[in-house]
Amino acid sequence: MDTLTKTQGTITEIGEFHLETWLEGFLIDRKAQNLARGTLAFYRKKLLLFAKYCEGQVITDVMQVTPDILRRYLLWLEETGHNPGGVHACYRAVRAFFLWFWNEVEPAHKNPVSKVKAPRVAQEPLDPADTDTLRALLNTCKADFQGLRDRAVMLTLLDTGARAQELLDLNLDDLDQVTGETSIRQGKGRKPRTVYIGQRTRKAVRNYLKARKDNGPALWVTGGGERLTYWGLRSIVTRRAEAAKVEAPSLHSFRRAFAIAMLRAGVDVYSLQELMGHADLQVLRRYLKQTNDDLRRAHKMGSPVDGM
């Protein structure tokens, strides 16, 4: 799977159903469907892992893969240190490949993946970034370009609930500095949506933009005027955490902090679902790690007996 193309002659030479050739064909199909970069990277990473396992089992042909092989692959993933979520992700990628392959080739026998159930994953709530930690990170930001940018980007990440890559893909003309309305043009699944930033964040963004010296289109840039990358954003949070002497939160934990803060402020879950770009409420539930105090306040607010 080192290349994205295979000649017809090569396919004939190495076998009609050569596994790696068809895995590459699947990736080409996903790319032709104009899937997001992150989705393409997900499929490539997971299918490379499947190809590695098959190589170790001397499996070179798609038709050699049986339900038993797939189940053993899932067990191998667990034994080699993958957590339940990681095993489930690998299963989804392999399942997508086999569904595609069977649709392309239409073999006479049954698709092996149809007999293999998805591994169970406990739906534990995810931890949000701690409020005190976020304050500590912001307090390390000085009034120079780097400090103004880092403060603005962290506040925007928290205030919009956007995914890290969605934030980094923003251009200057995607943000209305007066109203705070922000257009995410390609969210997960390439679905556009509108998010917002509040007054405090808008002020931080304006201060950062005044300190910029470039004329580039990107909203978030390096000191040299280049678009900020994912690893650049990760480095900002890591560097600020080291300065504040706290543990660095993950980029995604800002999104979780947004979700729980909005819920505690009384925002209804349907509006929150739209703001976060979730397809259904089931996904949103994992972000809403509520405490007993949250539940106590909710009951106090809506107690049917006290309200009689």
In which band, very low, low, confident or very high, does the pLDDT at 103 lie, cut at 50, 70 and 90?
A: very high
Pairing of strands 181-184, 193-196: antiparallel
Q: Given this model, what pLDDT does residue 294 score?
A: 60
Q: Given this model, what pLDDT does residue 289 score?
A: 57
Locate 153 and state its tokens.
């980007």
CA atoms within 13 A on the CB side of 11: 12
Give domain limits for the chain: 8-115, 131-301
Give me the CATH topology for the region 8-115. DNA polymerase; domain 1 (1.10.150)
* Chain segment 223-252, per-residue pLDDT in tens: 999 999 999 999 999 999 999 999 999 998
Contact between 273 and 281 under an 8 Å Cβ cutoff? The reply is: yes
Tokens 């699947």 correspond to: 26
CA–CA dist 84, 221 (Å, integer): 37
The dihedral built from the CA positions of residue 133, 138, 142 and 144, taken in this order, carries a sign that is positive
Q: Given this model, what pLDDT does residue 135 score?
A: 95
Contact between 126 and 289 under an 8 Å Cβ cutoff? The reply is: yes
Confidence (pTM):
0.64
CA–CA dist 259, 120 (Å, integer): 25
Q: Given this model, what pLDDT does residue 116 score?
A: 94
DSSP bridge partners of 18 = 61
Q: Given this model, what pLDDT does residue 30 score?
A: 92
If you write DSSP's letter for every residue of 163-179 in order, what string do you get?
-HHHHHT-BGGGB-TTT
131-301 in CATH: which number? 1.10.443.10
In which band, very low, low, confident or very high, does the pLDDT at 254 lie, cut at 50, 70 and 90?
A: very high
The number of residues in the chain equals 308
Run of H or E residues at 137: helix 131-139
In which band, very low, low, confident or very high, does the pLDDT at 266 lie, cut at 50, 70 and 90?
A: confident
